[in-house]
Structure 1
Amino acid sequence: MPVRVPESSSSTPSHVPGEYLEKRTLQPCTLLSVGQAFSGTQNVSTLQKDEAWRVNVRILGCDLDHGYLCGTMEALNVPMADTPVITFWEGEIVDSKNYTFFTSKWGATSEDDKKHWTKFPSFSPLLSQVEIDGGKSLDLSSYPYIFMVMRKCVFIPESEFFRASLFSINLSSLCCRDGKSNTL
């Protein structure tokens, strides 16, 4: 399995002075390259019930310098859908240069963001610094996980049935050592 960084003795990110923040970039991760495809399960919990369906994700664009990622997600066996549901999504890679753990978007507060990110065990070593400055001073370039915020943008083809449910934000943690991903 491809890896982003060599194994190190510590998985705790370092803190760097502000003047160096704009110069660092995440190390290339072959898991985040154009054409990569992943399969998994999307779990959806509502007050009424819990549902899950298989998904196939393909990366169509990746720009680590600007913290940008985009692709498609095909959801199979979605209740009330006769065919697979395909969406185009765009993502922000949390790199402390372009994007931090505090999205400041979509009505989310820093407390909302913290509540969601703390559901990832891989986030735990970062929490104390994120509470101080949103993670702006963290050097995530050699951290063994990549964190992303993905937003579904459009259905392919566009469907009246699903238009109302399009606005969906997913948080994701990708392990660069083994390719395992957790998505909320």
Structure 2
Amino acid sequence: MPVRVAENSAPSQVSGTNSGNTSPPACTLLSVGQAFSGTQNVSSLQKEEAWRVNVRIQGCDLEHGYLCGTMEALNVPMADTPIVVTFWEGEIVDTKNYTFYTGKWEASSEDDKRHWTKFPSFSPLLNQVEVDGGKSLDLSNYPYIFMRWKEQYFVNVGTDCGLTIAGFYYVCFSCSDGSINGFYYDPNSSPFQKLELISTNEGRSGFSFSSYELQ
């Protein structure tokens, strides 16, 4: 079962003048080929439901704040196939390429704050983010990496599969253990759908991914 690791909110440096080195810390757990496994909670007022979710990173460019990958949702009730695969692209909040304010995808600055503040590790950053969007923060030594993941298209099913990829994920990645916590945002879906993933050691854990050709 996926375990949510308590987040340590003590940063090494979170404020002051930006030194110019704003790239997030190099992390072997955030690299091409790395796999994660866990759940997405899709609870609503009517029912509570959690889907098994697998994620693999297909590309990562820390210098430009970019990463991409595939996401597998397993045994989704309304889908005709046991696995629904999507391709997503991510924005790394590094205050150089991307800030904490989304500025698109129907997300307002208030939506951003409501979602980021759900991560305990964001708390020390909030005051500065409210001042300038966090542009003056130096996150290069921060033990967490904040990201947005936006699903771009379905890989193995059509758009009529009964699922939507209109929204995006607010994501917090722990550099210490590779755990991922996220919240899905879509004005037309149930709010705060929670994503919880842990890094997997393929081979030793018996966990494996299928192969997909990405167009």
In 1: Cα distance, 2:148 partner to 2:162 partner: 20
Q: Compare 37-46 and 163-172 and name the one that shifted more.
A: 163-172
Write out aligned runs for 1:1-184 (5 A).
10-17=10-17, 20-21=19-20, 23-81=21-79, 82-162=81-161, 165-184=164-183
Secondary structure of the equivalent of 1:45? Answer: coil
Secondary structure of the equivalent of 1:31? Answer: coil
In 2: Cα distance, 1:119 partner to 1:104 partner: 19
Q: Is the 8 A contact 1:12 1:126 kept in 2?
A: no
Q: Compare 85-94 and 171-180 and name the one that shifted more.
A: 171-180
Kindly provide the CA deviation profile for residues 69-120 of structure 1, in whole angstroms up to 9, marking residues without a partner as x: 1000011111112320100000001111111110111121111100111111
Secondary structure of the equivalent of 2:29? Answer: helix
Bigger helix share = 1
Kindly provide the CA deviation profile for residues 126-174 of structure 1, in whole angstroms up to 9, marking residues without a partner as x: 1111111111111111110011100011101241323761212011111
In 2: Cα distance, 1:50 partner to 1:42 partner: 11
Secondary structure of the equivalent of 2:110? Answer: helix
In 2: Cα distance, 1:101 partner to 1:147 partner: 8
Q: Is the 8 A contact 2:105 2:167 kept in 1?
A: no
In 2: Cα distance, 1:36 partner to 1:180 partner: 12
Secondary structure of the equivalent of 1:30? Answer: coil
Bigger strand share = 1
Secondary structure of the equivalent of 1:40? Answer: strand
Q: Is the 8 A contact 2:60 2:68 kept in 1?
A: yes
In 2: Cα distance, 1:13 partner to 1:47 partner: 41
Structure 2: any 5+ residue segments left out of the alignment?
A: 1-9, 184-215
Aligned residues: 173
In 2: Cα distance, 1:175 partner to 1:62 partner: 16
In 2: Cα distance, 1:72 partner to 1:57 partner: 6
In 2: Cα distance, 1:100 partner to 1:177 partner: 22
Q: What TM-score does the superposition give when structure 2 sets the normalisation length?
A: 0.75
What value does the CA root-mean-square deviation take over the aligned residues? 1.7
Q: CA deviation at 1:180?
A: 1.6
Change (3 A) 1:131 1:60: same
Q: CA deviation at 1:178?
A: 1.5
Tell me the amino acid that sits aligned with residue 118 of structure 1.
T
Q: Compare 33-42 and 173-182 and name the one that shifted more.
A: 173-182
Tell me the amino acid that sits aligned with residue 108 of structure 1.
A
Secondary structure of the equivalent of 2:42? Answer: strand
How much identity, in percent, do the aligned residues show?
A: 62
